[in-house]
Amino acid sequence: MNTSINRRKWLKSGALLASGLVAAPWKWATAASRPAATTAELPSQYLNRTLRERPELQARLLANENPFGPAPSAKKAFAAAVDDGFKYAFAEKRQLQEAIAAKEGVTPDHIMLGAGSTELLMAAALYYGLKEGHILSADPSYTSLMRMADRIGSEWVKVPLTSDYKHDLNAMDTRTVGATKLVYICNPNNPTGTTLDPAKLEDFCKSVSKKAPIFIDEAYIDYVANPDVTSMIKCVRDGHNVMIARTFSKVHAFAGLRAGYLIAQPEVIKELDAFSTGGGTLSGPTALAALASYQDADFIKYSVKMNKESKDFVYKTLKAMDYEYVPSDTNFVLFPLRMHGDQFRNAMMDKGVGIRTWEFNRQHWCRVSMGKMDDMKLFAQAFNQVVS
């Protein structure tokens, strides 16, 4: 491995390993710049505390979960595989790997599996974060990779979004220099829900990947109008130094089951594998359930359709109260508040509705996840009461 590790970083990473923190990196995942009222605590801590202290929550709209699944086909596959749970899941994981490779037009050697995409993000954070230099990302965006890298000594360079809340590709290109060890892009972006123009992003990837590797987090890609066009997997197929992370937690509704994958050049997969569990955290039943869901086009269409109905309802609710919002290509909607985020969040929680709040651009924001229609009606009722 060609990673240069100085003594301070080595001792720091060694301490992390010894304490067991690297084995559970998701404890550090923090979403967006300054989530309001939670700046001193991590999202996992916030969610655990909130759900523990607020067991009466009637509408759980704070974690971008998908209540419309898992697919019946996934449930059936999982149940059928439980009897083989005593076996290590080598064959099951290989089946999933080969199916993804066939669909995406790459080889199995281009693919790394994980229990969700978080551990794949963490593998990249460790590998690139231990190099001398910095990791570059938009701000606000999903930040678990950069937070991990920052903790082991890497510098984190943040590039503000454009006026329409998208990644500023021109600025990111300019700020990608010799010291840039990784460029992270979340597309669609969390927490804004915005998607980049595919042609512009492809040009960016082809050009900038010559200066630094690019990591694209496509957790919400299935919610866009044309995922195949929007995805940058084509850049991997064309041999560029681009990595694509996908999760089953969103459209496939596997947030609790945990499955994800990374697509990159085989030599990159080999390097990152040394900083991961090698897919060892992915169980056989989950792998086969993920395979069933991955191949279930009808369920994916259903999941996207139901999400759109809930999102349209939220748009209508906000418009009725003369509130603006950021048009979203995901399973959540971000909109600016007219009060402090703490005040709004607590008032909504008191009414049994869980949401998240952020502060950026001198503005407080609410991010509401899409639930079933009954959940969204509870949100609308509480929202109207709180802002009236």
Give dist(CA 268, CA 276) in Å, integer. 12
Task: Compute how many other C-beta atoms are within 10 angstroms of the C-beta atom of residue 302.
Answer: 15
Is the same domain home to 268 and 131? yes
Is the same domain home to 226 and 276? yes
Q: Which has more pLDDT, 369 or 57?
A: 369
Interval 213-218 mean pLDDT: 99
Is the same domain home to 81 and 213? yes
pLDDT of residue 233: 99
Interval 79-100 mean pLDDT: 97
Is the same domain home to 286 and 313? no
Interval 328-357 mean pLDDT: 97
- Cβ atoms of 375 and 67 closer than 8 Å: yes
Q: Which of residues 296, 325, 359 is at a domain's end?
A: 296
Minimal CA–CA distance to 264: which of 131, 141, 104? 104
Residue 9, pLDDT above cutoff 70: no
**Domain presence at residue 346:** yes
Average pLDDT, the chain: 90
**Domain presence at residue 373:** yes
Q: Which of residues 248, 280, 296 is at a domain's end?
A: 296
Is the same domain home to 284 and 304? no
Is the same domain home to 118 and 258? yes
Residue 343, pLDDT above cutoff 70: yes
**Domain presence at residue 3:** no
Residue 12, pLDDT above cutoff 80: no
Residues sharing a CB contact under 8 Å with residue 7, sequence separation 6 or more, in sequence order: none
**Domain presence at residue 381:** yes
Give dist(CA 251, CA 67) in Å, integer. 10
Residues sharing a CB contact under 8 Å with residue 2, sequence separation 6 or more, in sequence order: none
Give dist(CA 137, CA 168) in Å, integer. 10
pLDDT of residue 36: 41
Residues sharing a CB contact under 8 Å with residue 342, sequence separation 6 or more, in sequence order: 36, 37, 357
pLDDT of residue 157: 98
Is the same domain home to 259 and 360? no
pLDDT of residue 22: 43
**Domain presence at residue 135:** yes
Residue 131, pLDDT above cutoff 50: yes
Percent pLDDT > 70 in the chain is: 86
What crossing angle do the helices spanning 90-104 and 284-294 adopt, rounded to 10°? 20
* Residue 174 burial (10 A CB sphere; 0-12, 13-18, 19+): exposed
pLDDT of residue 277: 86
Q: Which of residues 272, 296, 320 is at a domain's end?
A: 296
pLDDT of residue 279: 81
Angle at the Cα of 83 from the Cα atoms of 79 and 84, rounded to 5 degrees: 110
Is the same domain home to 114 and 237? yes
Is the same domain home to 361 and 288? no
Is the same domain home to 167 and 193? yes
Phi, psi for 15 (deg, rounded to 5) = -65, -35
**Domain presence at residue 79:** yes
**C-alpha distance from residue 283 to each of 154, 205, 242, 260 (Å):** 32, 33, 27, 12
Residue 240, pLDDT above cutoff 60: yes
Residue 19, pLDDT above cutoff 60: no
Task: Compute how many other C-beta atoms are within 10 angstroms of the C-beta atom of residue 168.
Answer: 16
Structure tokens given for 190: 């969390």
Interval 90-97 mean pLDDT: 98
Rounded to 10 degrees, the C-alpha dihedral 125/145/25/129 comes to 30
Residues sharing a CB contact under 8 Å with residue 55, sequence separation 6 or more, in sequence order: none
Residue 81, pLDDT above cutoff 80: yes
| Domains identified in the chain, total number | 2
CATH number for 272:
3.40.640.10
Give dist(CA 136, CA 313) in Å, integer. 36
pLDDT of residue 26: 28
pLDDT band for position 43 (50/70/90)? Answer: low
pLDDT band for position 46 (50/70/90)? Answer: low
Q: Is 361 left (phi over 0), alpha (psi -120 to 50) or beta?
A: left
**C-alpha distance from residue 218 to each of 186, 189, 205, 237, 247 (Å):** 6, 9, 14, 16, 8
Is the same domain home to 209 and 119? yes
Range of the domain at 351: 59-65+298-387
Residue 111, pLDDT above cutoff 50: yes
**pLDDT tens figures, 143-158:** 999 999 999 999 999 9
Minimal CA–CA distance to 283: which of 71, 72, 87? 87
**Domain presence at residue 4:** no
**Domain presence at residue 23:** no
Minimal CA–CA distance to 293: which of 112, 120, 99? 99
CATH number for 341:
3.90.1150.10
Q: Is 217 left (phi over 0), alpha (psi -120 to 50) or beta?
A: beta
Is the same domain home to 275 and 356? no
